[in-house]
């Protein structure tokens, strides 16, 4: 099959904590719906470090990529615990060279032989995706991504990638597309078609939600808050450290990065010296406090139109879901937390691309 008859698609969920990436080459004559069964999402560390400050073993890790952004060399895909610096939430996150480094690393990992991306789909938090001042116009952040992510992009090896088309979605809308791209439950599909759905995406620095009524987004009921998973990690780390010191380990110290690293590798414990400490109970407790804060804002948005169903996704889904379920009992809404919720947005971006843009 000739390369010119292949459509290459990339779906990227580039967050503060990690990068979720999906690649797909659609062959000539292949129906987009049939290709859904081939969609896979890679989950990569999201740390970025200046190449000069990077340990050689880290730079050579198979998960990391060396890229050049604006003349400066970075290593992207590094474990945050290895990078060892504090992340800061910023409204200008996508404008920073470290974000571009994540994008460039994803392009290098694509494996597209002709270095052409026909459709690239990315997501933004609701607060940056929607233009609440003039809903008919694209937000500044959307326009920026459409500009910076399209055209010829040189990742540093002198052979640029060509990105032909860029589509940007609200992150929870990716969850919606991902969930209904996977589920075969006719009752839930019928509920979405006829009822009201609240989609919650719990990321590292933002807790985003959108409300869809009969499949249409209700803008006034869709928003973002900074009460998110980073607060849970920080609170849990502090609680564990305090408890261990009170028990006699005077120099015990557990950081949010320690817990994040354990969760990324599928572990539910951390080691403090030789002592293994279970982290789930601390995370659930911390998530209860944070969820109470953000759910007040959600209640203010949805007002007198409670949803029939709530979909919970993102890296914080596991520990927030029980508290959201308790909150939902009073309105009779069904709460669904899909498998691998941290990868669902990227899967949804890819699903949307196959359905609407190919």
Q: Which residues contact 339 (CB under 8 A, 6 or more apart)?
A: none
Q: Is 324 inside a domain boundary?
A: no
Q: Is 48 inside a domain boundary?
A: yes
| CATH number of the domain enclosing 160 | 3.30.420.40
pTM of the model: 0.93
Q: Is 65 inside a domain boundary?
A: yes
Q: Is 208 inside a domain boundary?
A: no
Residue 1 has a pLDDT of 43
Residue 286 has a pLDDT of 98
Burial class (CB in 10 A: 0-12, 13-18, 19+), 136: exposed
Where the chain has pLDDT below 70, the residues are 1-4, 54-63, 84-86
Residue 52 has a pLDDT of 80
348 within 8 A of 178, measured Cβ to Cβ: yes
Q: Is 74 inside a domain boundary?
A: yes
The whole-angstrom separation of Cα 275 and Cα 221 is: 46
Size of the chain, expressed as the number of residues it contains? 358
The whole-angstrom separation of Cα 236 and Cα 230 is: 10
12 within 8 A of 19, measured Cβ to Cβ: yes
Q: Is 111 inside a domain boundary?
A: yes
- Domain housing 8: 3-173+345-356
Q: Is 136 inside a domain boundary?
A: yes
Residue 206 has a pLDDT of 96
Residue 58 has a pLDDT of 58
Residue 5 has a pLDDT of 77
Q: Is 216 inside a domain boundary?
A: no
Instruction: Specify the number of domains making up the chain.
Output: 1
């Amino acid at each position: 099959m000739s390369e010119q008859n292949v459509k290459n698609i990339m779906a990227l969920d580039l967050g503060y904590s990690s990068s979720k990436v999906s690649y797909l080459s659609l062959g000539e004559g292949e129906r987009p719906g049939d290709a859904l069964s081939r969609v896979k999402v890679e989950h990569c560390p999201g740390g970025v470090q200046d190449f000069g400050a990077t340990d050689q073993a880290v730079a050579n890790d198979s998960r990391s990529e060396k890229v050049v952004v604006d003349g400066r060399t970075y290593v992207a895909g590094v474990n945050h615990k290895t990078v060892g610096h504090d992340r800061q939430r910023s409204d200008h996150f996508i404008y920073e060279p470290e974000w571009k480094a994540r994008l460039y690393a994803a392009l290098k990992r694509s494996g597209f032989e002709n270095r052409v991306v026909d459709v690239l789909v990315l997501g933004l938090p609701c607060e940056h995706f929607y233009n609440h001042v003039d809903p008919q116009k694209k937000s500044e952040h959307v326009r920026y991504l459409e500009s910076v992510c399209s055209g010829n992009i040189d990742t540093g090896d002198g052979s640029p990638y060509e990105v032909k088309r860029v589509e940007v979605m609200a992150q929870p809308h990716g969850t919606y597309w991902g969930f209904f791209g996977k589920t075969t439950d006719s009752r839930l599909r019928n509920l979405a078609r006829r009822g009201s759905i609240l989609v919650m995406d719990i990321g590292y620095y933002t807790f985003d939600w959108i409300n869809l009524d009969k499949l249409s987004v209700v803008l006034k009921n869709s928003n973002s808050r900074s009460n998110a998973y980073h607060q849970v990690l920080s609170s849990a780390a502090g609680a564990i450290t305090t408890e261990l010191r009170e028990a006699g380990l005077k120099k015990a110290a557990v950081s949010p990065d320690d817990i994040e690293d354990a969760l990324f590798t599928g572990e539910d414990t951390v080691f403090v010296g030789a002592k293994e400490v279970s982290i789930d109970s601390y995370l659930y407790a911390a998530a209860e406090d944070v969820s109470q804060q953000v759910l007040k804002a959600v209640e203010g948005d949805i007002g007198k139109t409670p949803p029939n169903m709530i979909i919970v996704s993102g890296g914080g889904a596991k520990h927030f879901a029980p508290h959201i379920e308790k909150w939902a009992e009073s309105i009779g809404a069904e709460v669904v937390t899909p498998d691998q919720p941290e990868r669902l947005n990227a899967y949804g971006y890819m699903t949307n691309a196959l359905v609407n843009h190919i």
